Amino acid sequence: MESQLTRHGLNWLNFFVAAVQTGFGAFVSVYLTQQQWSQTDIGLVLSLGAAVTLVAQLPAGALVDAVHQKRHITAAALAALAVSALLLAAQPTWVSVRNAQILHAVAGCVLTPGIAALTLSLCGHEAYSERLGVNARYASLGNAAAATLLGACAYYLTERDVFLLTAALALPAIAALYAIRPSDQLSSLQEHPAIWHPRERRKQDGRIRQVATEPAVHVFAACTVLFFLGNAAMLPLALNILSEHMTETGFVITASILLPQMIIAACSPWVGKLAQRIGRRPVLLAGFLAVPLRGVLLGMLFLDRPGPVLVVLLQALDGISGLVFGLMLPLVAADLTRKSGFLNLVIGWFSLAAGFGAMFSTTLAGFLADRFGAPAAFLGLASAGGAATLLLAFGMPETRPLQTSRSKAVAVA
DSSP 14-74: HHHHHHHHHTTSHHHHHHHHHTT--HHHHHHHHHHHHHHHHHHHHHHHHHHHH-S-HHHHH
pLDDT of residue 396: 96
- Type of residue at 284: L
pTM above 0.85, yes or no: yes
Q: How confident is the model at residue 79 (pLDDT cuts 50, 70, 90)?
A: very high
Give yes or no for residue 410 having a pLDDT over 50: no
CA distance linking residue 396 with residue 18, whole number of Å: 30
Domains of the chain (ranges, CATH numbers): 4-179 (1.20.1250.20), 210-395 (1.20.1250.20)
Half-sphere exposure of 188 (CA within 13 A, CB side): 10
Q: How far apart are CA 413 and CA 403, in angstroms?
A: 21
Residue 347's pLDDT band, with cuts at 50, 70 and 90, is very high
Q: How far apart are CA 135 and CA 129, in angstroms?
A: 10
pLDDT tens-digit map of 373-406: 989 999 999 999 999 999 999 999 999 987 644 4
How distant, in Å, are the alpha carbons of 42, 43, 160, 244, 299 from that of 98? Answer: 10, 12, 16, 32, 38
Rounded to an integer, what distance in angstroms lies between the CA atom of residue 83 and that of residue 77?
10
